[in-house]
Structure 1
């Protein structure tokens, strides 16, 4: 029976926006514990009978002598995995799986819920990505929100290519970012082409220097109109 505290390994609470990130963390944890089969279906509940091969290629069903112990172990481990799953959900997600009796049912009900492709939802996310603007957001918040939109598109079966993520990030920046945008555009022609994660430090570094420059050159209004 597994005993490792999952709170140290799965740090994301599943809500309506972060299914892809949550799923990655949970799959990694379960795989490391040898329990992924309880949610992907490769570890099924034990059967009360076993097939015994006979003569002439026939088989006979006989009572499984280990059934009681196997069932007890399976039910115990399944309950632990299911408890881990439910404990990582936001309250509104719990209502989606309240009818599920096994961890496998919980897992696949979630997949169907989040991966159900709706044309209106897909259009909404694609439009949001194309029109995303930094405006008065900090660079870190801007990029985090943009990555969230990309994650949501991946969750509905429409993953965004890395170059398109970068173009979307640069498209939402104002004219004051033209120097760094030009540098990044030139880098896209190199091999291997950079990913959004490669570009993020360049954007945040440039933004920090830009904000520092603007702060140093800001003129206080009462000084600007002081008599000479």
Structure 2
């Protein structure tokens, strides 16, 4: 009735007598119309009161709510694209962003994992700028899954919130004292190791140095798959030499 698949019979037959088929259709349509009017608010009833058939009422409501739905989807997309961490912890920040993404998915607008990660990176506090740089460095060849990204972000948060005695240079030591597993993207550096490299670049104003397409061994001080660190007393010159070996 409401989708128009059932044709409306003519009111009269060829001899101008009432058409019994129309009488049956009219009764059914009135039942459906009554159900529709009983299921909507009084405010909405006033907007469709003048309509005669259930299909007319259905089409009017569909047009009205489709426009609202499109506006809602557009709003959700903007909220996700511009989401900001603020004072929230990473776990709460991730949960709030996921809620927006899940709502979009339920509305038929699923969010790609890599786009979701991009939105999250854009909303992190400035405290996480080293993490963003490290993430881009570590994933220059192969993207991290959303699960791996979340694990690395929570691990970094644990290091940021660690006591001051845990020096930011000694990431291997700090990782040992957190409950988060150390993860390494396939064929790439640890994100914590990439963060260490970024710190070295910043110390020597070489942050713009271009990395190789794949990790390479850099001698006894730092290897491609371990978290060894350079002693605090190392000279800036040696730091620069180490950076040159891996970039």
TM-score in terms of structure 1 length: 0.39
Q: Which has the higher helix share?
A: 1
TM-score in terms of structure 2 length: 0.37
Q: Which has the higher strand share?
A: 1
Higher relative CO (Cα under 8 Å, sequence separation at least 6) belongs to: 1
Computing the radius of gyration from Cα coordinates, the structure with the larger value is 2
